[in-house]
Structure 1
Amino acid sequence: MKRINTWQITTMVLAVLFVLSLFNVFSFSSGNKITGNAVVFINENLLDGTSQAVLQNTEKVSGVYKVSMLIDNQPFESYITMDGKLLFPTAVPLDSEIQAVQNTQPQIIDVEAADGPFLGPEDSENVVIVFSDFECPFCGLAFDDAAGKARFGQSYEAAVPILEQLAEEGKIKFVYRHFPLSFHPNAMNAALASECANEQDMFWKYHDLLFMNQDALVLNDLKQYASDLGLNTVQFNECLDSKKHSDKINKDIADGSSYGVSGTPAFFVNGYLLEGSQPFSKFEPALNL
């Protein structure tokens, strides 16, 4: 399912700003060259190959180039410095009044567990539902405590291992729902493979194995992991090759989008949304433990 939105593109653009500043990717003499090559760069490096940015207009605004594009027929704007060294995904006018948010209370969202694989008591009063992507690096950080500590510091506690433990202790129900992002080429097959493992009651072991091997998720890898876990490989391979559970994955994606999910991981902790690889300490206030 193709989903291109500003959040995804903004995230990818920000990730390359430092590289652009070092190597002067867009150092060209004219605005047309600068903006034209910016669009080429976006198409070749930031989109997944199934989507394309098309330049619509270029204008000078407050000392920068404003670039108007269409991506999958959706309007998108970026800004480029006049020397062509930096690309910015958005701009905030400083001379306009920003409306204060009146209600600072977090919204409770009624999220369905549907038929997602889960750990813990089915009727638990504490329910955590995660929409995740096996190829997503931030999902990997939420799973891998050592990697999280290396990234965020020694005080960081990865949430997923603790949530799994709490579920096994009967204190919460922890549900996994799929949200493979379109620009992760192996994410959909990994999601399908996990559901094939779920047919043989091995979802969570397979889930853990995928997150431990995020750099090896091509089709042959997915089948090898099934063999490593002792699954019936004939059944597993037939399930995966036929994309048997694609309807379920697509329903998870549609449901997640309806709940406001646009990136991964997205945790709903008793209805409260926590986005990204948040430390477990951020989950505790919403859990009745």
Structure 2
Amino acid sequence: MSIRSSALGLVLALAACQSPRSAQQPGAPAQQQVNPQAPVAKVGVQTITAAQLDDTIKKDLKQLDQQYQEQVYELKRRALEQMIQKQVFEAKAKAVGVSVDDLIDREVVQKIPEPSDAEVKSLYDAAVAQGQKLPPLAQVKPNIVRFIKNQKGQEVLAKYYDGLRKDAGVEVLLPAYVPPKVEVAATGPAKGAADAPVTIVEFSDYQCPYCVRAEPTVKEVVAAYPGKIRLVYRDYPLPGHSLAPKAAEAAHCAGDQGKYWEMHDRLFAAQGKLDVADLKGYAKDVGLDPAKFDKCLDSGEKASEVAFHKKAGEEAGVNGTPAFFINGRLISGAQPAEAFKQVIDSELQGAEKTAKK
């Protein structure tokens, strides 16, 4: 869609430049109430009860409920932004005596710079380098020019809208989304005061690239709230990561020698090199007694501890890593620091209000 063909449609699209989240469709009928002891199936002389069935899908139900609540909030947030955009542009158009389409044509479309030949060729060459089979440049140049102009148009439009929004004194009062609380035990290796007002329970996997990416953010967040955060690390090795369980065991073996966090950091810095021989090398790097470490790792004595943490994650609704529970509120994936701070600030404000009562 070109900028000129549907100006207001493009304005409203500013709120929707995001990847959709997979979530359950709202509006489903209420769940039928069933006696937990009622049989739902029989296999020979064996009976499967409603309670057993519910226990099997407990993790999935928690996840669907969290997704549903977040989707409802996201729908409200987007709808509110579209309402604000519509009113801001209509008010400005009315003030200058033109239609919204004419306003955007004058303030946006006519101000979009023409792409240079160098820009066109650079985009064409990049596409060819990525393996795309394209006709000669002269043949597709008009399409590339339109694409570049639409990209620049989005930037010009966004900048113009930001100015209108500021001039109109827009103030969004919709509270920020706060994930529902989930009961998660803060059990495991920990940093920070036990009585800190905020506890972050992290379920993670040493072989997961997203977990590696999240580690600097976690350190940044903890450093931003000195004395106010307790960080608890719990293992959640994913099924497809064959090296992750033994790496988690290695961290706990290091913990027996008072070097859990040193090994934790070394494993995340390993860039996926987590074979047993690598783990034993890292033990020497962090100053462990090699004989004691090797005995612990080779015996598999920490496997049950790793399994214990993973089971807790499953019961809390974790289905991927990293997953962070901030005072029980879930943040999933390698999110930016701002996403953590939003929830932490909300929790700290709540703690302050409780303390004043």
Q: Sort the TM-score into its range (normalised by shorter chain).
A: 0.5 to 0.7
Map residues 173-252 of structure 1 onto 2, 5 A cutoff.
173-252=230-309
* Structure 1 contact 163–174 (Cα < 8 Å) conserved: no
Q: What CA deviation, in whole Å up to 9, does each residue of 1:149-192 have, x standing for no partner?
A: xxxxxxxxx4222245357x322100000000111111000000
Q: TM-score, normalised by structure 1?
A: 0.57
Distance 1:101 1:137 in 2: 25
**2:220 maps to what in 1?**
162
Distance 1:222 1:266 in 2: 24
Which amino acid in structure 2 is aligned with residue 122 of structure 1? Answer: A
**2:36 maps to what in 1?**
none
Paired residue secondary structure (2:228) = coil
**2:228 maps to what in 1?**
171
Distance 2:255 2:69 in 1: 46
Which amino acid in structure 2 is aligned with residue 137 of structure 1? Answer: P
Superposition RMSD on alpha carbons, in Å? 2.0
Map residues 77-226 of structure 1 onto 2, 5 A cutoff.
104=73, 106-114=179-187, 116-143=188-215, 158-165=216-223, 169-226=226-283
Distance 1:132 1:182 in 2: 13
Which amino acid in structure 2 is aligned with residue 241 of structure 1? Answer: D
Distance 1:133 1:222 in 2: 15
Distance 1:214 1:160 in 2: 18
Paired residue secondary structure (1:283) = helix
Q: Which has the higher helix share?
A: 2
- Residue identity (%): 39
Tell me how far 1:281 sits from its aligned partner.
0.6
**How many pairs are equivalent?**
175
Which amino acid in structure 2 is aligned with residue 119 of structure 1? Answer: K
Q: TM-score, normalised by structure 2?
A: 0.47
**2:310 maps to what in 1?**
253
Q: What CA deviation, in whole Å up to 9, does each residue of 1:186-238 have, x standing for no partner?
A: 10000000000111111111111111113211000000000111111111111
Distance 2:313 2:224 in 1: 24
**Structure 2 residues without counterparts, runs of 5 or longer:** 1-67, 74-177, 349-357
* Structure 1 contact 270–286 (Cα < 8 Å) conserved: no
Which amino acid in structure 2 is aligned with residue 178 of structure 1? Answer: D
* Structure 1 contact 223–233 (Cα < 8 Å) conserved: yes
**Structure 1 residues without counterparts, runs of 5 or longer:** 1-98, 144-157
Task: Kindly report structure 1 stretches of 4+ aligned residues shifted beyond 4 Å.
Answer: 99-105
Q: Which has the higher strand share?
A: 1
